[in-house]
């Protein structure tokens, strides 16, 4: 899971509460939009991490951005502010999404490639993930041209690195050792 142990604890608490209130789907949607917003806005991320910006200003910005958020999500933001843990918001949201997916028997397979995945390759990746973990998965394609070619597959705690840059690094290490 991503983030610190504190983020995981908050995520578990929110997941438990949302499940009891039968609002886990709505909160999951909120958490996905939070992680998406933070990932696509450096300004938002810097504001959340900044010790200079007042907590009241951070709260006002977050409530303005996520005005349609579930009550449980709003309460999480209030709790993080009260406990001076707002910088953990992104990690809490990511951990929540992972917990939600695990409870549904699904997971996210992160595939880093130099070029976008084709539909045929996505199907092969999903089959391999199902074979490795026994669970269905969604494929998240990350484009990183620095790997030159091949791919890096991450599913939960499993990582398989079949990138060309990794193979070149291995060759380089072998030559320097001999």
In this structure, the answer to whether residues 13 and 97 fall within a common structural domain is yes
Out of 102, 131, 146, a domain closes at 102
Q: What is the mean pLDDT of residues 139-154?
A: 86
Beta bridge partners of 112: 142, 152
pLDDT-derived band at 1 (thresholds 50, 70, 90) equals very low
- For residues 18 and 34, membership in a common domain is answered with yes
User: Residue 177 pLDDT more than 60?
Assistant: yes
Q: Is the pLDDT of residue 141 over 60?
A: yes
Tally of structural domains, the chain: 2
Q: Residue 7: CB partners within 8 Å, gap ≥ 6?
A: 88, 91, 92, 94, 95
Please say which residue of 102, 127, 152 terminates a domain: 102
Question: Do residues 49 and 113 both lie within one domain?
Answer: no
Which tokens sit at 13?
A: 């608490």
Asked whether 47 and 61 are in contact (CB, 8 A), the reply is yes
Mean pLDDT for the stretch of residues 14-42? 92
Backbone angles phi, psi at 111, to 5 degrees: -115, 115
pLDDT the model gives residue 178: 64
Q: How far apart are CA 45 and CA 39, in angstroms?
A: 8
Cα–Cα dist 149/141, whole Å: 14
Residues 110 and 98 in one domain: no
The residue range of the domain holding 111 is: 106-177
pLDDT tens track for 85-114: 999 999 999 999 889 988 887 778 888 888
Same domain, 91 and 127: no
| 143 DSSP β-pair partners | 113
- Residues 15 and 56 reside in one and the same domain: yes
8 A C-beta contact, residue 27 and residue 120: no
Q: What is the pLDDT of residue 163?
A: 86
Share of the chain above pLDDT 90, in %: 40
- Does residue 156 have a pLDDT over 80? no
CA 135 centroid distance within chain: 18
Rounded Cα–Cα distance for residues 156 and 125 (Å): 15
Residues 50 and 15 both lie in one domain: yes
Same domain, yes or no: 20 and 90 = yes
Residue, of 128 and 50, whose pLDDT is higher: 50
pLDDT tens digits, one per residue of 67-78: 889 999 999 999
> Average model confidence (pLDDT) for the chain?
87
Domain stop point among 53, 78, 102: 102
Q: Are 3 and 94 a contacting pair, CB within 8 Å?
A: yes
């Amino acid at each position: 899971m991503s983030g610190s142990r504190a983020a995981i604890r908050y995520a578990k608490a929110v997941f438990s509460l949302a499940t009891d209130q039968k609002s886990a789907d709505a909160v999951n949607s909120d958490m996905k939009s939070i992680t998406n917003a933070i990932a696509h806005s450096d300004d938002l991320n810097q504001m959340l991490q900044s010790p200079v910006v007042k907590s009241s200003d951070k709260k006002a910005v977050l409530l303005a951005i996520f005005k349609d958020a579930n009550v449980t999500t709003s309460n999480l933001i209030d709790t993080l502010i009260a406990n001076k843990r707002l910088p953990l918001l992104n990690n809490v949201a990511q951990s929540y999404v992972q917990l939600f997916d695990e409870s549904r028997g699904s997971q996210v397979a992160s595939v880093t490639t130099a070029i976008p995945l084709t539909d045929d390759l996505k199907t092969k990746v999903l089959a391999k993930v199902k074979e490795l973990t026994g669970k269905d998965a969604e494929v998240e394609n990350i484009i990183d041209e620095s790997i030159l070619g091949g791919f890096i597959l991450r599913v939960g705690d499993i990582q398989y690195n079949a990138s060309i840059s990794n193979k070149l690094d291995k060759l380089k290490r072998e030559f320097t050792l001999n």
